[in-house]
């Protein structure tokens, strides 16, 4: 069964397979990427035995590996897939960035994050939580914050709340007029000093005066929409060839 152009899912950090079995029931093959060796042993053996009507060799595979270090082409080649997971909070931002870097294959990306990270991914310009993660995610994906998960549903309860989001790749994700590397560089420079205007934060790019005098350079980064950042990065790329 195919969902939105993919029929395989990469699950990051499945643990004991609480989420895994529900995804498999939808007729999607799950490849579980797990770093904890004890969880890997459980998933390969006990998990299969406990869910014989759901899990089989055709719809479930386990790989002991670190997602941030794993070459995803080794798993999927050029095939499209989605990513799900209850993501480790300490590396969740890095996970999002890697998903964006693999946007040609990652059609959907969803799961549970620390609430503040989920809010940053989905934040709109003008918000205090709007930043690098917001712009780079939303340049290529539609971002939707789904719901908040309270501390009380966990045992033991964590110190932070959680949030669930979904990113769905845009139809025109591959037609941006600027490269990802240029957009990332411009956005990161802009938000390094978010209280300052672009005229100050983008000084290191040594742009021509006629560009730096444009109105957008008098704005702070949180005031600039995703589309404006794309247009700015395109103009800078054309002028200075900084791909």
pTM above 0.95, yes or no: no
User: Domain range spanning residue 201?
Assistant: 180-240
CATH code of the domain containing 194: 1.10.8.100
Same domain, 54 and 83: yes
Residue positions forming the annotated binding site for S-adenosyl-L-methionine: 1, 13, 34, 66, 86
Q: pLDDT in tens for each of the 243 residues of the chain?
A: 556 789 999 999 999 999 999 999 988 999 999 999 999 999 999 998 899 989 998 999 999 999 999 999 999 999 999 999 999 888 999 999 999 999 999 999 999 999 999 999 999 999 999 999 999 999 999 999 999 998 887 777 878 899 999 999 999 999 999 999 999 999 999 999 999 999 999 999 988 988 889 999 999 999 999 999 999 999 999 886 544
- Same domain membership, residue 45 and residue 12: yes
- Residue 74 in tokens: 């080794």
Which residue, of 150, 174, 198, is where some domain finishes? 174
State how far the Cα of 123 lies from the Cα of 53, in Å rounded to an integer: 41
Question: Is residue 170 located within the same domain as residue 186?
Answer: no
Give the total number of structural domains in the chain. 2
H-helix segments, 102-225:
115-122, 132-140, 180-192, 198-201, 209-212
CATH code, domain carrying 35: 3.40.50.150
Does 190 lie in the same domain as 123? no
Among residues 154, 174, 194, the one where a domain terminates is: 174
Distance (Å, rounded) from C-alpha 102 to C-alpha 88?
A: 19
Q: Which of 174, 198, 231 is the last residue of a domain?
A: 174
Q: Which residues are annotated as a binding site?
A: 1, 13, 34, 66, 86
How far from the centroid of its chain's Cα atoms is residue 103's Cα?
9
Which among 97, 176, 110 has a CA at the least distance from the CA of 144? 110
Do 62 and 89 belong together in one domain? yes
């Amino acid at each position: 069964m195919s969902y939105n152009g993919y029929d395989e899912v990469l699950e990051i950090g499945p643990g004991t397979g609480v989420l895994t079995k529900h995804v498999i029931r939808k007729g999607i093959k799950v490849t579980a990427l797990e770093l904890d060796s004890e969880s890997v042993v459980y998933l390969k053996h006990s998990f299969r035995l406990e869910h014989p009507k759901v899990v089989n060799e055709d719809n479930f595979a386990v790989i002991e590996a670190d997602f941030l270090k794993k070459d995803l082409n080794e798993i999927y080649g050029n095939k499209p897939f989605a990513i799900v997971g209850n993501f480790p909070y300490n590396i969740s931002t890095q996970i999002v960035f890697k998903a964006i870097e693999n946007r040609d294959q990652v059609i959907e990306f969803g799961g549970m994050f620390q609430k503040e990270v989920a809010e940053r991914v989905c934040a709109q310009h003008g918000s205090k939580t709007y930043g690098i993660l917001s712009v780079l995610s939303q340049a290529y994906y539609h971002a939707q914050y789904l719901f908040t998960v309270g501390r009380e549903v966990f045992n033991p309860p964590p110190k932070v709340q959680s949030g669930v989001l979904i990113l769905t790749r845009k139809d025109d994700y591959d037609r941006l007029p600027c490269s990802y590397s240029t957009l990332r560089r411009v956005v990161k420079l802009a938000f390094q000093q978010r209280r300052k205007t672009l005229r100050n934060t983008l000084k290191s790019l040594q742009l021509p005066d006629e560009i730096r005098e444009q109105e957008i350079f008098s704005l702070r980064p949180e005031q600039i929409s995703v589309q404006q950042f794309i247009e700015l990065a395109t103009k800078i790329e054309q002028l200075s060839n900084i791909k």
